Structure 1
Amino acid sequence: MPSYAMSIFHLPKSLIAEIHRMSARFWWGSKENQQNIHWCTWKRLCTPENDGGLGFCDIEKSNRAYLAKQCWRMIKNPDSLVVKVLKGCYYKDKSFLEAQKNGDGSYVWNILIWGKDLLEEGIRWRVSNGNSIHVYKDKWIPKQSTFKILSHPSLNDAIVDQLLTPSGNWNLQLIHEKFSSDDENKILRIPIGRGKREELIIWHYEGDGTYMVKSGYWLGINLEDKSRPFNTNPSTRLWSFFWKLKIPSKVKILIWKASHYWIPTKASIARRGIQISHICDACKSSIETTLVDL
Structure 2
Amino acid sequence: MSFFRLPIGLCTDIQKVIAEFWWGSKKEKRHIHWAKWDRLCKAKGMGGMGFRDLTCFNQALVAKQGWRVIHFPESLMARVLQARYFKNSSFMQAKLGSNPSFIWRSILWGRQVLQNGMRWRIGCRQQVKIYQSRWIPRLTSFKKFSRATLPVEVTVSTLIDKEHKWNEILIKQHFDHEDAYKILKIALPRALEPDQMIWTYDKQGRYVVKSGYQIAMSLKFKDQPSSSTASPTEWNAI
TM range (shorter): over 0.9
On the 8 A contact 2:6/2:58 being kept in 1, the answer is: yes
Distance 1:224 1:14 in 2: 16
Partner of 1:44: 39
Unpaired runs of 5+ residues, structure 2, are: none
Matches for 1:210-225 after TM superposition, within 5 Å: 210-225=206-221
Match of 1:237 among 224, 233, 238: 233
Is 1:24 matched with 2:32?
A: no
Other-structure match for 1:260: none
**Corresponding position: 1:55 with 2:40:** no
1:199 alignment partner, one of 195, 206, 223: 195
> Partner residue of 1:79?
74
Q: Distance in 1 between matches of 2:14 and 2:137?
A: 37
CA distance in structure 2 between the aligned counterparts of 1:234 and 1:202, rounded to whole angstroms? 33
- Residue 26 of structure 1 aligns to a residue in which SS? helix
- CA deviations 1:219-274 (Å, max 9, x no partner) are 2113345468xxxx9511111233xxxxxxxxxxxxxxxxxxxxxxxxxxxxxxxx
Q: What secondary structure, in the 3-state scheme, does the structure 2 residue paired with 1:8 have?
A: coil
Number of matched residues?
233
CA contact (8 A) 1:128 1:194 kept: no
Does the 8 Å CA contact 1:52/1:239 hold for their aligned counterparts? yes
* Distance in structure 2 (CA, Å) of the matches to 1:227 and 1:160: 34
Letter in 2 for 1:14: G
What residue in structure 2 maps to residue 125 of structure 1?
Answer: 120
Q: TM-score, normalised by structure 1?
A: 0.76
Alpha-carbon distance in structure 1 between the residues aligned to 2:111 and 2:179:
27
Contact 2:125/2:194, CA 8 A, preserved across alignment: no
Q: Is the 8 A contact 1:10 1:63 kept in 2?
A: yes
Amino acid across the alignment from 2:192: K
Report the alpha carbon displacement of residue 119 of structure 1 after superposing the two structures with TM: 1.2
Specify the code of the residue in structure 2 equivalent to 1:221: M
Q: Is the 8 A contact 2:45 2:233 kept in 1?
A: yes
What is the aligned-residue identity percentage? 38
- After superposition, the C-alpha distances for 1:67-98 in whole angstroms (9 at most, x for unaligned) are 00011011110011221111111111111111
- Shift of the alpha carbon at 1:144? 1.2
Structure 2 length normalisation: TM-score?
0.93
SS in 2 for 1:66: helix
Q: Is the CA contact (8 Å cut-off) linking 1:129 and 1:194 kept in structure 2? A: no
Partner SS, residue 100 of structure 2: coil
Question: Is contact 1:123–1:201 with CA below 8 Å preserved after alignment?
Answer: yes
**Alpha-carbon displacement from aligned partner over 1:90-129 (angstroms, at most 9, x marks no partner):** 1111111110222421111111100111111100011124
Q: 1:129 to 1:227 in 2, by over 3 A?
A: farther
Residue identity matched to 1:125: W
Q: Which residue of 2 aligns with 1:186?
A: 182
Q: 1:92 to 1:14 in 2, by over 3 A?
A: same
Unaligned runs of 5+ residues in structure 1 are 1-5, 243-294
Partner residue, 1:161: 157
Q: SS of the counterpart of 2:119? A: strand
Query: Is 1:111 aligned to 2:109, yes or no?
Result: no
Amino acid at match of 2:193: R
- Distance in 2 between residues matched to 1:200 and 1:138, nearest whole Å: 12
Equivalent residue number for residue 148 of structure 1: 143
Which structure would you say has the larger Rg? 1
Structure 2 CA distance for aligned equivalents of residues 78 and 32 of structure 1: 51
User: What SS is found at the alignment partner of 2:158?
Assistant: helix
Instruction: State the alpha-carbon separation in 1 of the partners of residues 170 and 220 from structure 2.
Output: 38
**Stretches (4+) displaced over 4 A:** 225-228
